[in-house]
Structure formats: structure tokens, C-alpha cells
Amino acid sequence: MLKTISIYLSENPTLRYWIVRPEWVAVILLIISIISSIQLSPFFADLAFIMDSATPYVEYGLIAIILTLIIISGEIDLSIASMIALTAVIFGTAYNAGFGMPISMLIALFSGTLCGLFNGILVTQLQIPSIILTIGTLTLYRGIAQSLASDFSLGGYPSWFIGIDYRYIGIVPIPVIIFTVFAVVVGFFLSSTIYGKQLYLIGTNPQTAKYSGIKVNRIKLLLFTLSGLVCGIAGVLTTSRLAVARFNMATGAELEIVLMVMLGGTYIFGGRGNIFGTFVAFWIVVILRAGLNVARIKIESQLTILGAMLIIAIILTNYIYSKSQK
Amino acid sequence: MDLKTNNIGKTFSGVNVLRNVDFDLKPGEVHALVGENGAGKSTFVKILSGVYTPTEGDIFLDDKKVNITSPIIAQKNGVSLIHQEPQSFSHLSVAENIFMGHMEGNNFSRVKWQDINKKSNAILQSIGLKIDPKKIMEGLSIADQQMIEIAGALSKNSKVLIMDEPTSPLTPNEVGKLFDIVNKLKSNGMAIIFISHRLEEIRQISDRVTIFRDGDLITTKNINEVSNEEIIKFMIGRNIEETEVKENQFIKNDEYILNVKNLSLSKKFNDISFNLKKGEILGFAGLVGAGRTEVAKSIFGAEKFDKGEIIYDGESIINNSPNEAINNGFAYVPEDRKQMGIFGPVAVEDNITSAIPKDISNSMGLINSKTVTTLTNDYINKFNIILTSGRQLIEELSGGNQQKCIISKWLLSKPKVLILDEPTRGVDVGVKSEMYEIINKLAEEGTAIILISSELPEILSLSHRIIVMREGKITKILNNKEATQEKIMSYAIN
Amino acid sequence: MTLFDKFLRIRELGIFSIIVVFVIVAAIIDPRFMTLDSWRAVFLAIPLILVMAMGQMMVIICRHVDISIGSILAFSAIVIGLLYIQFPGLSLWLSLIITAFVGLVMGLINGFIVTRFNVHSIIVTLGTLSLYRGLVFIVSGGRQIDRNDIPEHVVSFSQTSFLFSIPGILIFSGIIVVITHLVMRHSVLGREIYATGSNPVAAHLKGINVTKVTLFCFGICGMLAGVAGLFYASRFGYVNPGVTGVGIEFIVIAGVIIGGTSITGGSGSVLGTFLGILLLGIINVALPVLNIPGEFQKAIYGLIIVVALALDQLIIYRMKKLSGGINA
């Protein structure tokens, strides 16, 4: 039975292209988690509850979408969580130093961009493997944030700025709208533009990409810079949500962000994956976290489940890709 | 040790690359293996050294049948392979490099430094090499690293030494040193298999020579009983039919599109000068490692060059990257199809259109998938590419069809200068002749073509002129009328 | 080869000179730095990091990185802390064996996933970092092991000993450093670890069991992180599930990398790693003396990692150029 299916699929590349894809695992997982969480608590049948649960994760989701692009092109950025904290702290410092709100925001975004650019330059020019380099800048950026803010909470923002997560359009919180729009735009970019296609080509075979005239290094540099910029945006959003900026915010967030990308079926070695998968994985993480909270499992103990999921997601994705093409 | 093989054969995914090899090697003998690229000699020594297992046939050591299933087992049986690029541990000492993998004692035993240093010293001295065994490997020359690999084989009491083109990375001086060592080993009773493309070296060092061609062992001769011309004849094949040479009429124009002057890159190639007319096919012949691919890469901007000038369409240009080269009208079909030619797990149509991003998208960067499909289907039909649909992954196609896709990809970029590096490697006969038609037609339409190929008949029948390279230099430029396989070979080897 | 290149090769000398310069500068700015108390502080801060660095160094030499060691430390510290609540009389030796075993198992799990599924070790250990940390909370129920839960003989382990009252953990970590040195420098297995990191393909061709070697490194790395858990309980007198060992992996990695261990594998020495950790320890103690706020510490460590990585890459490039550069 299985054999007939696999033979049939191998004779129909288009059909196989649509069926043997790891993001279906994510979709199935999402359905399972929705059903089981509704069993757990009737809250989960309420769309508004799920929407509200999603807001704290939107910042991670935004970055997960950019990280998807980076991993598809064969690199990785682990300094993301530190960049959130650093840009948030810079934002808070700038605002408290008397710069107006718009200028402070610009400074935050600019500093994020700079951090990303720094990562990108070291990766493309010095050829330091990104996975190792960003472990270093992870420490560096978090350290700079700590040097700037010490153990203080930088607050005192105008009330219009605080609590973006409590603004809604209909039942949908504004951050969730931002996330969804961003996912659709980047998803469209990745699937329908020539630049998106080139990311896949770079991740599949950087050598061939270079020989095909694709500007591999420039594109990678751009992606790392973009990652910094989006972390800057996430930093400002987080500050709005929490009303304060601290050096230790988003500690350990790289786990959840990488998990969203991996769970969405993006291939850790590059060349494959898509935004749809990451988008679905975002909701899995949201519902899982909410479900564990409702089940009164301590936030810290949830780490075990997230960590195990990351490892299983990678192994499973690798397995599916190894099956879908010999 | 006596080594004999009986009826050895090897098949890779249905392709028979080695057939019925009966070979024998005596102690105290240097036995040379020669043959064109892909003749089967490398496959054969890989079987002897345990890298491959034979599909059929037996290996006998001192008349005892042995099953060599891995390099380790080969080494335990006294058969060691010296790699062309030395496999060394650059952070460890010379003595450790010699004894790694077979040091005395279990995991937590103390390494007997004095012992291995002393033994290393003795071995190194026995082959006349003055290197301190405590020296760190990093920074030693390739020649020294090679000698140390030989020392490693000696430390394992190897009785059969296989040397795969050991002289190609060496300077003449270093070759002399290596030969001293080989002669010493030989007088101590070592049996040595020696692969080289340089006939003079073979004449100098070996006792017998075995010639391979197209997966067959053609003959084994005493070196004194065979002339260089005869060896070349055996390598090329008995029946050198007169390949049809094309008329040079349609390139009577004097429009030079490319003029390369004194191009040099240190340690790769030196003082390369040639010119190329519109519609001309310029063949590049020579052995692997002669520097042809490196010249092509430098022209294409994938690698730099130190000195020289490239004049293109009357202007001096430098391609700083493949991207610039492509925009200038260059195209390069690389030799290593898997590493540099295709995006394996990607659809055929995305492969074919990967070098023309601007033609398949609008000003916003949106891909017009209709254009992609039309362009792809054009070439699928034109070149008769066999596949189920343009969305099929390119890695699932046969080598020949993959190559057709790559050529389609470059033709879409409408190049003025097309560089083909071994375009028919691993391509079956039928597709080959189709490919020749394509190449000829392109030239007739005015594309200037640089054709790098190791297959002499291919070069002879396609090229208007032939450049022969050896060890980074141009040794001869031949007109197609005067060129023969023997002539090319003699310029490529000597 | 120029003198500069020779200097680049002997990395230990480079890091040693940096230490000397740093100490002299610090002593000139504030002579208080040269007091016995400062140095006692340096040497009390070191053992915990040093022991972990020995394991991490082995992992990095064979081309991997383990970032889960902070969580392993916390887990073993919690386990031993909980045992102390039940059995306050648990001897030091038994505690050592227990923590070492706990760490060993966790390290082997890392190694197994890395070798079996061929995924980059940083991603795998990013997963186990959280997984193990979560286990810490599950096992402890989120409760801190308090000062009065840790028996006196364990606390005194980090304060005094039979030998000139030198703290026991200092002696013990010294022993571990010496053993690591002997294993890495002089044992057959140690040399196989270097060979594996230097050129895995050649190592395989020479008959080295690369999987076994890799598993060994991860196992020992975990084991030493486990032992560090006992050190932690002894020295700080408490174990907090949310604080203990958080972020310590980056300090350890920083120390190993500035100690001259190449992230591309195959090179690195115990002496270099020791000096690297010593430099970090001195910086740690010197900061308040030099009136630099302690908050700057992490940024400095981070900067050191990045600079060391960049320098490493430049040295590799230069060495390739020197040796004629096969396909450079």
C-alpha cells in the first residue's frame, strides 16, 4: 500500500511536490493541538482568547519570518533575542535622554540595523560560520544592553505608546494584524519574486548560485541587516507591551524563534522551507504555550517540552526531506 | 609481496567502468599505470586500496585470496594508497602523522613519544628525508607531506604501495627526490604501483607499464620494449579513424571578440595568450591539472588573476564576479556539474532560468511563471530533453539531460563568448552527438566558443583551432588541419 | 616565516602577554589590585569555569560546540541539592560520583543526537539547553535549595582543605586540569581527538572511530559540567532553578576561544584554555578595582569572543597562504 503510493508519487512530481512536504506535519500538529486544547478547556473554542494569547509571541513571530529567509539561504542568526533586548534598551535610553518618541524609535531601528550589518559583514567578508559568530554576538549584544541599562527598568513612556497589545481591530489585537500582514507580504515576496527564488537557489547550492551570477554575499549581507532591523521593531513592540525595557528581556527567545522556523518545516541545511510553515508553527507555539498555562504547568517546566520539540522537529524534517528525494 | 587480480570488474549504477582486469605486480617492481582520464586506472587502484569493493573478480596477495572491503583492511594486508593530495593532520607532529591510527596500546595508554619519534626518525632517514619528527605538520610543503604519508605506509610494514599521480603537485627537483625514495623502496623489495601522465617519468622510474582504455586493461609491457608513440597509440585506441575536420570558411571574418594577453595566476597558470573570433570554436586540450579550468574561471570572473589583460570586443575588461561576466556576455558551463552546474533538488525550469532573473520578472521583481514555462518548454523541445515536466527536480534526470538543461540555461543569457568545460563528461553517446550539433550550430550563428575537453576525438572534430596546455602553460596552438590525436597527446604529455 | 607568524603559532604566549600587560596596567591604576585578597578572589572564581572549560575545549577541538552545559550544571546541582535534603550525611566522594554520572548521561545524550542525526551541535544543544533547564524546574518543583540545605562539609569544600587551607575545589579542579592535559597531550585517545578535529576525513581513512571520539568528548564535557554543579552548590551555598548556570556557557566558550582553541577544530591546549579562563577571572576581579561597573562584564566577554573568532579566521587564512595554499 505504502509502496504503491510512493511509486505513484515518484511518477507524479507535481503531486509529490505538494504532498510530501514537512509543513503538512505542522498543519496536522496545529489541528491536534487545537482539538486537544479545546478538550482541555472551553476557552480554546473562543477565537478572542487565542488571539489574546498570541500577542506576547508576535515579536518572536516577526523575527521567525525573517529567520526563515536566513535559514533557507543556508545561514542562521542566533543573536536575535539579544538584538531585541539591545534595541529595546537603546530605545528606552534614548527616550529617557530626552529624544522624542519618533527619534527614539528611529535610533532603535537604526541600532538594530547596525547590529545585523555587523553580523552580516563578519559572516560574508571574514567567512566566519554564522552559527558560531552569532553565538559570539549573542553575548556581545546582550552585554552591551546590560552595560547600558544595568539592572534598571527603563520606563516612563507616554500612555499612547504603552500597551499596543490592548488595541484591537474587531477582536484582533493590532500586533497579530501586524504579524499576519508581515507574514503575507514576506510569504508573497519569497514565493513570487525573483529575489525569493534566488534565496532558495543560494541555500541549495551556493557554488552554483555564484556561477549563475547571483550576488550571494550581497544578498546574505542584506538578510542579516534585515534581521537586525526587524529585531529593532520587535524591541520597540516589546517595550510597548511591557511598558519598560530591560537588558534581560527575551532571554532564551532564540529557542522559541528557531523552534517556530524548524517546526514550520524549514530545512536546517538550507534551500527548502516556506513562510506558510512558519506561520502555522507560530500558532502551534501559541496554542501549546496557552494550553500548558491553562494546564497550570509552570512556564519554566514548559522549556522541556519546547526543547524536545525543537530536536524532534529537526530530526523529523530531515527525515521527510530525505524521503521526498533520494 | 606478490599481488594478482583475476577478472576484476566494477559497475556503478548500471554503468560498467571496469572490465576483466587481470593484473600482476611483483615485489621489487615499479609498475606504471597509464590511460586517458576515465580509462579506469583510478577505479582499479581504489579497488586495490579498499575505497571501492569490486563488483566481480578476486584479489590475491602471495597467492592467497583476500577480501579487501575497506582502506583499513587493505592497510592491514599491507596495501597502502598514497593520495595525490596528502591527507594530513596539519595540527599534529610529523611522528603523529606517521603513526596515527596504529599507535601502540589502548585508548588511555600514554603515547610512547620517544618510541614513535625514534621509529619515525629511522623511517624518515631510510628514505633520505631530513625532517624533525617532532615538527608540526602545518607549513610543510606538499612534497614533504607526501613523503610523510609514504613514511606512514612504511610504518605499517606495507608491502604494496600505490601512488596516485604523486608527481603532479611537485616541482622537478622534488620529483627527483621522490624517485630516489621510490628506487630505495624498490631495492628493499617493495611492490609499487605508480600512476602518472608524464611518459618521461614513467620511462625513468618504472619497470613495466600497463595501459588502460575505456575500462579495459589493454596490455602490459616491459618499459624497454615499448616506445612513447606506441604507448600513446595504446591509450588512444588501435583504430584512430580520421575524424572529419571542418572547413574554416565561415570564420574567415576577422572579428576578434576576445583577446587574452599574458594571463597569469601564481601556481595555477602562466603567460596564457590567445585570441578568439566570432563563430570560432577554440579547443583546449591537455591533461587534468594542466590549468585549463583555472584559465576559464579567471576569464569568467569566478577567480582572480595576477597579471595580464583581457580585451573583449575591443575594450580591456576585468570580470570581478560571474555576475559581471554574465552581464558582459560571457557564459560558463562548469566541469563539476553537481557542485557548480545544477541546483540538485530544484525544479528543471528554475534551473534553466536561474541565470536570467531580469528576463523572467517584471520591474517589481515579480516572477512571470508563464514566461518561465514557455522559455523552459522551448528548450525542452529544441534539445529534446527527456523529463516528465518542467517541475521535475533536475537531480532526477540523467547526466546528459542535466547537461542539456545547463546549456539551455546559458543559451538563454544570449552569450557572446561561451565557455564549455568538459561538456560531454558522463553523457551517453546519443546525447553526445546531439550536443555536438548544438555546439556547431551555435558557432555558425556567431557565438565564440571555448571548448575544454579531455576527449581528443571531440576536440578534433569540433574545434577550428586547438590550444594544448601542459602544467599551466600553452605548449602549442594547432590548426585543425594539422592536428592529430598523437600530436596533441605528445604536446600535452612532454 | 616571519617572527610574527611564529608568534601567531604559539597562542599561549600571546594570551600570557595579554594577561601580564593587563595585570601591570591594573596594578598601576590601582595598587589595591595586587593584594592577596584580589588574587584569592580570582582563584576562587576560576575553578567552576575551569572545570567546564576543560570539557568544552575537548568538544571544540573535535569541531563541535556544546551550549547546554549551563543547564547540565543546574540539573546536577539540583539533583545533588535534593539528595542533601534527604541525606545530609552524603559524602563528598559519593556526591562527586553522582554529579559526574548525571552530567555524563546528559552529555552522552547530546553526543548521541549530534552523531546519529548529523545536525549541527549548536542547534542540538540549543534544544537540550531548554530541555535540561525545564527538567531542573520539574525535578525541583521550582523550589530553591537553600543555604541551610547544603551540608557543612560540602560548603567547606570550597573554603578550606587539609592542604595549607587551599580551598578543596581549587585543588580538585587543578587535578582535573592536569588529567585533561595528560589525556589530551599524551594519550592515544587524546591525539585521536585532535586528529578527528584536524581532518575528519583523514581520521576516518586512518581507522579512527570518529563517532566514538565525538561521543567521548560530549560525554566528558557533560560529566565535567555535572561536577561543576557540585562546585556551584558548595561555593554559592544555594541552587536556584532559574539562576544557577544561566549564561555560564558563553563565559566558558569565551575562555576556551581566547585560550587559542580554534573553532574549526584540531588545535587548542589545556595551558591556553587555563590562561584564557585566568584572563577572564582577572578581568572579573579587576573591573570593580578599575571602577568599571560589573554590568560591562558580559559585553567585554562578548567582544572578546567576536574578536577572537575574527582573529582565528585571519590566522587560518595566513597559515594557508604560508603553506602554499592547496585550493586556497
Domain made up of A22-324: CATH architecture: Orthogonal Bundle (1.10)
Per-residue cell: B102: 596504529
Euclidean distance between CA atoms B30 and B206, whole angstroms = 5
Which residues lie closer than 8 Å to C76 by C-beta, 6 or more apart? Answer: C98, C99, C102, C103, C225, C226, C227, C228, C229, C230
Clarify whether residues B198 and B226 are in a common domain: yes
Question: How many residue pairs from chains A and C have C-beta atoms closer than 8 A?
Answer: 147
CA geometry: angle at C318 spanning C315 and C322, to 5°? 135
Contact of B304 with B265, CB cutoff 8 Å: yes
CB burial of residue C317 (10 Å; 0-12, 13-18, 19+)? middle
CATH fold label, C3-322 = ABC transporter involved in vitamin B12 uptake, BtuC (1.10.3470)
Residues of A in contact with C138 (CB under 8 A): 301, 304
Give yes or no for a contact between B492 and B470, defined as CB atoms under 8 angstroms apart: yes
Does A314 lie at the interface with C, CB-CB under 8 angstroms? Answer: yes
pLDDT in tens, A57-74: 999 999 999 999 999 999
Side-chain-side CA neighbours of residue B136 (13 Å)? 15
Question: Cβ–Cβ of A195/B344 closer than 8 Å?
Answer: no
Q: Which of B188, B204, B236 is the last residue of a domain?
A: B236
Residues 60-119 of C with CB under 8 A from A: 65, 67, 113, 117-119
CB contact B326 to A (< 8 Å)? yes
Q: Residue B207 class from Cβ within 10 Å (0-12 exposed, 13-18 middle, 19+ buried)?
A: middle
Residues B268 and B179 in one domain: no
Contact A322/C at CB under 8 A: no
Q: Which residue type sits at A106?
A: L
Alpha carbon distance C195, B92 (integer Å): 7
Q: Does A210 touch chain B (CB under 8 A)?
A: yes
Count of other CB atoms within 10 angstroms of residue C96: 17
Question: How many degrees, rounded to 5, is the angle at CA B480 between CA B478 and CA B483?
Answer: 60
Strand order from edge to edge, sheet including B256-265: B269-277, B256-265, B307-312, B315-317
Facing residues of B64 across strands? B61
Contact state of A204 with B334 under an 8 Å Cβ cutoff: no
Most distant CA pair in chain A: distance in Å? 70
Cβ contacts (< 8 Å) between A198 and chain B: which residues?
A: 357
CB atoms C305 and A136 under 8 Å:
yes
Q: Which three cell numbers stand for residue A21?
A: 512536504
Give a yes or no: residue B243 inside a domain.
no
Alpha-carbon distance B95 to B92, whole Å? Answer: 8
At what angle are helices A130-149 and C296-322 packed, to 10 degrees? 150
Assess C215–B contact: CB distance below 8 Å, yes or no.
no
Contact indicator for A282, A260 with CB cutoff of 8 Å = yes
Q: Give yes or no: residues B257 and B224 share one domain.
A: no
Report the candidate in B438, B483, B35, B431 with the shortest Cα–Cα distance to residue B284.
B483
> Using the beta-carbon criterion (under 8 Å), do C189 and B113 form an inter-chain contact?
no
Split into its structural domains, chain B has a count of 2
Q: Do A128 and C299 touch (CB under 8 A)?
A: no
Name chain C contacts of B108, Cβ cutoff 8 Å: 183, 187-189
The verdict on B170 and B226 lying in the same domain is yes
Collect all residues of chain B within an 8 Å Cβ-Cβ radius of residue C197. 91
Tell me which of B236, B270, B300 is where a domain ends: B236
Residue C311: other Cβ atoms inside 10 A: 17
Contact C166, C174 (CB under 8 A): no
State which H helix or E strand residue B448 sits in.
Answer: strand B448-452
- Write the pLDDT tens digit of every residue in C248-265: 998 999 999 988 898 888
Contact C185, C270 (CB under 8 A): yes
Angle at C171 between CA C167 and CA C174, to 5 degrees: 140
Which position has the grid cell 569544600?
A: C157
DSSP state of C158: G
Query: How many Å apart are CA C194 and CA C63, to the nearest integer?
Result: 9
A79 vs chain B: nearest CA distance in angstroms? 30
User: Using CA atoms, how far apart are residues A136 and A123, in angstroms rounded to an integer?
Assistant: 12
Contact C75, C233 (CB under 8 A): no
Tell me if B297 sits within 8 A of B321, measured CB to CB. Answer: no
Local structure of residue C32 (DSSP, 8 states): G
In chain B, the residue whose alpha carbon lies closest to the alpha carbon of C323 is: B139
Among all chains, which residue has been given the C-alpha cell 570581478? B320
d(CA A279, CA A23): 10
Mutation to test the B interface, candidates C61, C205, C220, C318, most B Cβ within 10 Å:
C205
Cβ–Cβ under 8 Å, residues A249 and A243: no
Q: Measured between CB atoms, does A322 come within 8 Å of chain B?
A: no
Q: What is the pLDDT of residue A16?
A: 67
Residues 381-400 of B with CB under 8 A from C: none
C111 neighbors C173 (Cβ within 8 angstroms): no
One domain for residues B99 and B193: yes
- Chains sharing 3 or more CB pairs under 8 A with chain A: B, C
Alpha-carbon gap, residue B222 to B1, rounded angstroms: 19
**CA–CA dist C298, A144 (Å, integer):** 8
In a domain, B242, yes or no: no
Q: What is the mean pLDDT of chain A?
A: 89
Sign of CA dihedral B320, B323, B324, B329: positive
ipTM comes to 0.85
Tell me the Cα Rg of chain A.
20
Beta bridge partners of B275: B259
C-alpha B252/C-alpha A191 separation (Å) is 49
Q: Which residues of chain A are within 8 Å of residue C295 when distances are taken between CB atoms? A: 146-147, 149-151, 247
Sort out which chain C residues have CB atoms less than 8 A from B92's CB and list them. Answer: 191, 194-195, 198
pLDDT at A6 over 70: no
Contact list, B360 vs chain A (CB under 8 Å): 194
B87: CB partners within 8 A, 6+ apart: B149, C199, C201, C202, C205, C206
What does the pLDDT look like over C88-132, one tens digit per residue?
Answer: 888 999 999 999 999 999 999 999 999 998 888 999 999 999 999
pLDDT in tens, A259-288: 999 999 899 889 989 999 999 999 999 998
- Indicate yes or no: CB of A192 within 8 angstroms of CB of B389: no
* C-alpha to C-alpha distance for C99 and C107, rounded to whole angstroms: 12
Interface check A169 vs B, CB under 8 A: no
- Give the whole-angstrom CA distance, residue B422 versus residue A19: 38
Domain of residue B377 covers 249-493
Same domain, B317 and B223: no
**Whether residue B42 is found in the same domain as residue B121:** yes
**Chain centre to alpha carbon of residue B104:** 38
B328 touching chain A per CB within 8 A: no
DSSP state of B194: E
**Residue B71's closest chain C neighbor by CA?**
C205
The one-digit pLDDT tens for each residue of chain B (494 residues) are 789 999 999 887 667 888 889 999 999 999 999 887 678 888 899 999 988 889 999 999 998 999 998 888 898 899 999 887 788 998 899 999 999 988 888 888 888 899 999 999 999 988 888 889 998 888 788 888 988 999 999 998 899 999 988 887 777 788 888 999 899 999 999 999 999 877 888 899 999 999 998 888 999 999 999 988 888 888 877 544 445 555 555 566 678 899 999 999 988 899 999 999 888 999 999 887 788 999 999 999 998 899 999 999 889 999 999 999 999 999 999 988 888 999 988 999 999 999 999 999 998 899 998 999 999 999 999 888 888 888 888 988 888 889 999 999 999 999 999 999 988 877 776 778 888 888 988 988 889 999 998 878 888 888 989 999 988 899 999 888 888 888 888 888 76
**What gap in Å lies between CA A194 and CA A188, rounded to an integer?**
11
Give the C-alpha distances (Å, rounded to integers) separating A304 from A284, B439, C223: 16, 61, 20
- Chain centre to alpha carbon of residue B87: 18
Q: Which of A185, A164, A193 is closest to A66 using CA atoms?
A: A185
Quick one: DSSP state of residue B337? I
B90 shares a domain with B196:
yes
- The H helix count followed by the E strand count for chain A is 15, 2
- Dihedral of alpha carbons B306, B308, B311, B312, sign: negative
Among A194, A195, A200, the strongest candidate for a mutation testing the B interface, having the largest count of B CBs within 10 A, is A194
Domain CATH code at residue B177: 3.40.50.300
